[in-house]
Amino acid sequence: MSFINDDFMLKNETAKKLYHEFAKDLPIIDYHCHIPPEKIAENYKFKNAYDLFLGGDHYKWRLMRSNGIDEEYITGNADDFEKWKMFAKTVPLMIGNPMYHWTHLELKRYFGVDKTLSEKTAEEIWEQVNDCLKKDKFTAQGLVKMSNVETICTTDNPYDDLKYHKRLKDFDVQILPTFRPDLSNIKSDITDRMDYFNENGCKLSDHAVDEINDDIIEKLVFLGEEYAKRGWTMQLHIGAMRNNNTRMFEKLGADTGFDSVNDFEIAQGISKLLNALEMKDRLPKTILYTLNPKDNYVLGTMLGNFQKAPTPGKIQFGSGWWFNDNRDGMEEQLKALANLGLLSRFVGMLTDSRSFVSYPRHEYFRRIFCNLIGRWVEDGEYPDDSEMLKEIVEGVCYKNAKEYLKF
């Protein structure tokens, strides 16, 4: 019997009720991810289990390196099945890591695999997954449809022609671009590019804020004003220290698993940015993410400085991101937001992923969220008011994002 059962991670009766009755079947709005739109538009057919599960997934690559697996079997030229076996060898050692849960949720939800992945089961599961991938329903479009996804917002270069998004206008799932300029290279035609993205359904911008200084703030003030004019939401992903391993960066490039959490101070810079936009009456809806949990209370209190009618939760504390995308990280973010603001207005989870089978991460979040709320109810800290709890759970898991982003 699989350890991924109906009540996985639901530790109290209230949590089980909240998840199964209110959260489980809600559609997914994935408003920040890195899925390539060309693969959806071209209805990419995955070659095998390695291609689907491990291709481009630096989360998994980091763990394989930590297990002493040679790079040849991670990003090198080894046979795909040999790479899969090295991943399978690593999986049983992932105790306490969310990747252990994610891997088995993905195998079970898409492929009906109940066995745990290991060296012993690697070949059997490889064949079971590969047999499924031969079927039309397991293409890129098929996997998206299977995932109960309503909207996907990709992450796009401002100079992308968006041809794949245009091809997907009649697809069953709404696929929208997100405007992500490089803050080190803002060109004179940037507002023209915003207009082009706006014409093609864009509703969000995104920025990697890996440092905060006066130059960065000045650029974000300019951009933020423009986003406000267009009714966009501005996302700031704060606090990554990227490409730490120069030798591997030169060999493999960016986004290959050599990034970590930074620890620079953010409070004064973020305050200065938001205040400058507010003084111009041009502060757009904004989602603030921190990679360093030391800043949970910095952002959690910053929100209250700039909330403004008529938008509930105009300034958001974004979900546990990247290295916080685990039970502890999610719970700490949720508790900080609850302690300092209105958790019930939170816009919820996103995948931040390049993988077409990452949507069970929304299930993972929903289970963690319902378990936390259920615990508070059973501890007598909130009434067992089914109607109100339903509103909160449906809001955080789906409705808040839909209303906030105007999908």
For 3-31, what is each residue's pLDDT tens digit? Answer: 899 999 999 999 999 999 999 999 999 99
What pTM was estimated for this model as a whole?
Answer: 0.97
Residue type, 42: E
User: DSSP 3-state helix, strand, coil percentages of the chain (rounded to 5)?
Assistant: 50, 10, 40
Bin 10: left if φ > 0, else alpha if -120 < ψ < 50, else beta: beta
Q: Where in the chain is the domain with CATH 3.20.20.140?
A: 139-404
Q: How far apart are the first and last CA of the chain?
A: 40
Q: Is residue 107 packed enough to be buried (19+ CB in 10 Å), middle (13-18) or exposed (0-12)? A: buried
Segment 208-228 shows an average pLDDT of 97
Rounded Cα gap, residues 17 and 141, in angstroms? 32
Look at the chain and count its residues: 407
Confidence of residue 176 (pLDDT cuts 50, 70, 90): very high
Q: What is the pLDDT of residues 235-274, one digit of tens each?
A: 999 999 999 999 999 999 999 999 999 999 999 999 999 9
Asked whether the predicted pLDDT for residue 277 surpasses 70, the reply is yes
Q: What is the overall mean pLDDT for the chain?
A: 97
- The CATH fold assigned to 139-404 is TIM Barrel (3.20.20)
Segment 88-116 shows an average pLDDT of 97
Q: Is residue 219 packed enough to be buried (19+ CB in 10 Å), middle (13-18) or exposed (0-12)? A: middle
Asked whether the predicted pLDDT for residue 1 surpasses 70, the reply is no
In this predicted structure, what is the pLDDT of residue 248? 97
Q: DSSP of 368-388, one letter per residue?
A: HHHHHHHHHHHTTSS---HHH
Q: What is the pLDDT of residues 355-402, one digit of tens each?
A: 999 999 999 999 999 999 999 999 999 999 999 999 999 999 999 999
Q: Where in the chain is the domain with CATH 1.10.2020.10?
A: 46-136
Asked whether the predicted pLDDT for residue 2 surpasses 90, the reply is no
In this predicted structure, what is the pLDDT of residue 3? 85
In this predicted structure, what is the pLDDT of residue 164? 98
Cβ neighbours around 389 below 10 Å, total: 21
In this predicted structure, what is the pLDDT of residue 373? 98
Please state which architecture CATH assigns to domain 46-136: Orthogonal Bundle (1.10)
Rounded Cα gap, residues 37 and 15, in angstroms? 36
